[in-house]
Structure 1
Amino acid sequence: MKYGLLMLLLASSAWAETVTIAAEDDWHPYCGKVGTEAKGMAVDIVREAFKAAGVDVRFEVMPYARCMEQAKSGKVTGCFDAARNSTLENDYVWHKPAMFKARINIYALANSTQSNLGVKDLEGREVAVTNGYEYGEEFDTNPRIKRSVNNQDVLGFRKLAAGRVQYAVAYEKVANAVFDKHKPEFAGKFKAVGMTAEPELYIAFTKANPDGAKFAAKFGQGLEAIMKNGKYKEIENRWK
């Protein structure tokens, strides 16, 4: 009996589906590279959702712009975390439901007297952004904003501290992680003076081959399952 059970387990493991998903390397606490591995709230959600759907997931960690390009070309099956907008909508397959929502703030120097700014207020201004990131439909499609592009959020905040840009835009929890990591460099230097959006975040699945649609459906099913069985809430609580 024990031998038979062992053989059954080995057989099921051998036939388990495996998918390769690209994870961005510098978006803590949602997703980032720690040592050689992807770690973060979104990583745990992706892993558990696929597990619930009977799929093993392998992560490749890389900068976000490359992550999205590799998903688009089909070199990996998907990339996360992506905020859908009209410029991306037709290039990828999207799952249902979304993984989570995240607020995007507009940051200025701490001595700013401004508040309640929106996207329109950024027109004609120098604004630090990170390469390839989405900041909400209204921001992403507005050509009047002067974007100062950086490879990491921390570099945008350094530009803001040095007065090289007037604003920086960043996801709130990510900005908080940057500020915490770079104490005392950033201590007390910035304040949120508005927001651009609070988008839903997704895995952007490839359209370059049928695996994208197949695994998008499986991921959506698994995500719904962990939202119902309490695993999703457990992950959220772990990353508060």
Structure 2
Amino acid sequence: MKILKKAVFAACFAFGAGAVSASELLVVADEWAPFSGANLPGKGMSLDVITTVLERAGHDVRSDVVPWARIMKGARDGTYDVVGSLFYDEEIAKFMLYSDPFYETRVKFMQAKGKTHDVTSLEALLPYSIAVGDGFLYEPEFDRSEDLNKVVVTTTQQAVQMVAFDRADLTLDSEEVLSFAIRGSDTDITDKVDIPPHILASHNIHMAVRRDFPGAASIVADFNAALAEMRRDGSLDALLSKHVTLQE
């Protein structure tokens, strides 16, 4: 989520200008490459997987990419009913019904090349400035800590640039997101940054449906059944590999 921060959300609209039919699911995500993005193939891994699985389960689906702030507001006020690219969170689970996971991601730190920052514990992180995304979720203890020197930014791309040009000591995100941000930088920063091997957290990525949404349990059951079929026949791995390098 962002990270696990980020989430992908879906809504069903029955009436109004520009609305979709009551039987169509609108899957919405914010820019969080390679998991979601308006200019990515299939609009990113998460949108591609969620759309494909739901369509295989017999649902009509369309997708769009919208700003994160709007998604967060809509998730709280009931505008968006189906959520994907979601890490498990106990508070969210109180009002969202989780599906089986469709991917696992690992949260890692990034530092400037040549640095040897100790990132193995929260206490070890105290001396460093850490660029973090506004509203992003990384790991519960890290997220709750008020002792760390967190520098809030809007995107992981901004955070990566800050580390590359010595404006922050560290940043962190899913390793896929960090790698994509490095490759997508306007300037070549490959030789300026390094991703240490330490894993802060591993997260399963799910979709979820608001518990009070009509048919929520059926949508989740449909998704889980189609997802299991895709695991068995190899089509899930084939789809994922179009977007990311699968972990061994």
Give TM-score scaled by structure 2 length: 0.78
The 1:19/1:207 distance shift into structure 2, 3 A limit, reads same
Secondary structure at the aligned position of 1:238 is classed as coil
CA deviations 1:156-177 (Å, max 9, x no partner) are 1122234332210121111111
Q: What is the rounded CA distance, in whole Å, between the counterparts of 1:87 and 1:80 in structure 2?
A: 16
Moved over 6 A (4+): none
Indicate the residue corresponding to 2:135 in structure 1.
132
Q: How does 1:1-240 map to 2 (within 5 A)?
A: 17-25=23-31, 27-34=32-39, 39-95=43-99, 97-114=100-117, 117-123=120-126, 125-182=128-185, 184-193=187-196, 194-239=198-243, 240=245
Secondary structure at the aligned position of 1:88 is classed as helix
Secondary structure at the aligned position of 1:102 is classed as strand
Q: CA deviation at 1:201?
A: 1.0
CA deviations 1:2-53 (Å, max 9, x no partner) are xxxxxxxxxxxxx99321222122x222211118x96122222111210121
Q: What is the rounded CA distance, in whole Å, between the counterparts of 1:144 and 1:85 in structure 2?
A: 22
Q: Name the amino acid aligned to 2:48.
A: D
Contact 2:50 2:84 in 1 (8 A): no
Q: What is the rounded CA distance, in whole Å, between the counterparts of 1:93 and 1:215 in structure 2?
A: 10
Secondary structure at the aligned position of 1:184 is classed as coil
Secondary structure at the aligned position of 2:137 is classed as coil
Q: What is the rounded CA distance, in whole Å, between the counterparts of 2:216 and 2:64 in structure 1?
A: 16
Q: Unpaired segments of 5 or more residues in structure 1?
A: 1-14
From the two aligned structures, give the one with the greater helix fraction.
1
Q: What is the rounded CA distance, in whole Å, between the counterparts of 2:212 and 2:129 in structure 1?
A: 36
**Number of matched residues?**
223
The 1:165/1:208 distance shift into structure 2, 3 A limit, reads farther
Q: What is the rounded CA distance, in whole Å, between the counterparts of 2:172 and 2:92 in structure 1?
A: 20
Provide the aligned C-alpha RMSD in A: 2.6
Q: What is the rounded CA distance, in whole Å, between the counterparts of 1:16 and 1:235 in structure 2?
A: 28
The 1:91/1:143 distance shift into structure 2, 3 A limit, reads farther
Q: Name the amino acid aligned to 1:23.
A: A
Contact 2:81 2:210 in 1 (8 A): yes
> Which has more radius of gyration?
1
